[in-house]
Chains A and B, each alone.
Chain A
Amino acid sequence: MNNSVWIITKKELNSFFDSLTAYILLIAFLGFSGFFTWITGSDIFMRKEADLEVFFSVSKWTLFFFIPAITMKMIAEENKSGTIELLLTKAITARQIILGKFLACLLLIGIALLFTISYYITVSQIGNIDHGATLCGYLGLLLMSAAYIGIGLFASSITNNQIVAFLLALLIGVFFHFIFDMMSYNSGGFVGQLLSGLSVNRHFESLAQGVLDTKDILFFASLTIVGLLLSELFISKRIK
């Protein structure tokens, strides 16, 4: 089981690095987050605090846009070229295919985040950094990425057009990213609570501030799982 997942993951990672996708993503991600963290706006030197909060809030946005760009081709392209038929008639299940692709995307984001550890090291040299809070922030970024990859794979699984997959992933993402949050301010009671509970922003902010709460982890995990299950459903629906 795990071996089949890993075969898919390896193939997808190879194709990221064979095409320019991986390099463009890494350069753009490090460029954006580096620029805003160190050089301009309310950067680290203006804040006069040794933490990575700026980096986290910038990454929250860059990843929001980049993840749909890497997930959009994952299944839509297989649907379009017909290679999905090759995959589904081999000794691998729809779930393993989805998990393999999910893992490949998450690893690519993980690699991008790994490079930013240099920021962490630098800041920790400048002042007293809160190690726990920083770790929490990274965990938050990874969990948020997983959730958006789930959404992106789902968007990719229901179409054979990559642009449609990209836009759909952004459209769904935008609701979780801030629209639910904004709406929650204007509605009270249960609806307001529900909306704020569905907001990626709320859950991410609390993690980024160093509050490790199982509620937040559960939220991201369930969003991821729902996305992956729906993708699995849609690719095996083609079988029917």
Chain B
Amino acid sequence: MDVRIDNLTKSYGNQKAVDSISFDIKSGEIVGFLGPNGAGKTTTMKMLTQYMQPDSGTIWYDNSSSYDVDIRREIGYLPEHNPLYEDMPVMDYLAFAAALQSVPQSEVPSRVIEMVRICGLDVEKHKKIGELSKGYRQRVGLAQAIIHNPKVLILDEPTTGLDPNQIVEIRELIRKLGREKTVILSTHILPEVEATCDRILIINKGKIAADGTVQQLRKQSEGKSLLQVRIEGAPVEHIAEGLRLIEGLQKVLLVDTTNKRFEIESNAGDAVNRLVYRACVQNHWDLLEMIPFETKLEDIFRDLTIN
């Protein structure tokens, strides 16, 4: 199911939580909402799941934009903080969630069993939800979201409270589900979006600050590249001086005097490596190390959200 959002706006009092954002998500895409706290991620998700009504703007699911149960039936939602009925046993709760999402009565037991298997709830399935640890509660939340095999999956911070092994499992599960569904997840764990998402939407102050794949965002971030080199064969000052003479380099930093390591920032991409190599040959320096660094998602994120 394709999701299209058109000029969505929502204010709380005077504060604009979401400020006319628009985007398209195709079926089979996994999109990560990224943004600092209070950026409008959760509000956007609440509007996508019809829990909140936008002040203005439209949300299209395929060709329908109405507020009704037929759309909600196609959505699986894991809300922020993962609210659950504490005094219900896991199995009963999953059956309840399935029935509410109009899974036919005859299929409910088999769906519940499948969810218990997929989400690894087997050991805890007869306990009351209130007795579960946070990681297992999170799995129950995920299980109730996917039990009716929805076409759109909306997950607000799906991996909070999980241990590293569980995080890997859940990410794999999301990737698997994402092949045939539209998945929208929010997080502020950056490696998470890199690991699971096809596309990233960085939201800041209610607006979309960036939209694209991880690679595209890297390129967008002004094509900056960072190179660390270790050069010997002359006093450090000479080398630094010589490097600064090379055209196209923006910044040369001496980071380690004893080992003679330098950091070079430039706009030139791969060409820098060649320029630095030639300079070394000309000056008869020994080039001992040359390590290219990719701009990290953290840096892009910081660039876009702090100003």
Q: Is the CB of A86 within 8 A of B144?
A: yes
Shortest CB–CB separation between residue B299 and chain A, in angstroms? Answer: 35
Q: Is the CB of B87 within 8 A of A90?
A: no
Shortest CB–CB separation between residue B43 and chain A, in angstroms? Answer: 13
Which residue from A7, A86, A91 sits with its C-beta under 8 Å from B79? A86
Which residue from B52, B88, B99, B102 sits with its C-beta under 8 Å from A239? B52
Cα–Cα, bound, A233→B79 (Å):
22
- Given the interface pairs A86-B83, A239-B53, A240-B53, the reply to whether A15 lies near B96 with Cβ below 8 Å is no
A222-240 CB mask vs B (1 if < 8 Å, else 0) is 0000000000000000011
Return chain A residues, CB-CB under 8 Å to B100: 4, 7, 87, 90-92
- Given the interface pairs A81-B83, A81-B86, the reply to whether A89 lies near B51 with Cβ below 8 Å is yes
Asked whether A14 is an interface residue with its Cβ less than 8 Å from the other chain, the reply is yes
Which residue from A19, A87, A91 sits with its C-beta under 8 Å from B73? A91
Return chain A residues, CB-CB under 8 Å to B101: 90-91
Give the tally of cross-chain contacts (CB within 8 A): 62
Q: Is the CB of A15 within 8 A of B88?
A: yes
- Given the interface pairs A7-B96, A89-B51, A240-B53, the reply to whether A83 lies near B85 with Cβ below 8 Å is yes
- Given the interface pairs A11-B96, A81-B86, A82-B83, the reply to whether A89 lies near B75 with Cβ below 8 Å is yes
Asked whether B22 is an interface residue with its Cβ less than 8 Å from the other chain, the reply is no
Q: Which residue of A lies closest to B70 (CB)?
A: A91
Q: Looking at chain A's contact residues, is the secondary structure mostly helix, strand, loop, or mixed?
A: helix
- Interface size grouping (class) on chain A: 20 to 34
Q: Is the CB of B75 within 8 A of A18?
A: no
Return chain B residues, CB-CB under 8 Å to A15: 85, 87-88
Return chain A residues, CB-CB under 8 Å to B144: 86
Cα–Cα, bound, A193→B96 (Å):
48
- Given the interface pairs A91-B102, A92-B100, the reply to whether A85 lies near B83 with Cβ below 8 Å is yes
Binding site for A on B (CB under 8 A): 46, 49-53, 69-70, 72-73, 75, 77, 79, 81, 83-88, 92, 96-97, 99-102, 144
A-B contact pairs, 26 of them (CB 8 A): A4-B100, A7-B96, A7-B100, A11-B88, A14-B92, A15-B87, A19-B87, A81-B83, A81-B85, A81-B86, A83-B83, A83-B84, A83-B85, A85-B51, A85-B83, A86-B79, A86-B83, A88-B50, A89-B77, A90-B97, A91-B69, A91-B72, A91-B102, A92-B69, A92-B100, A240-B52
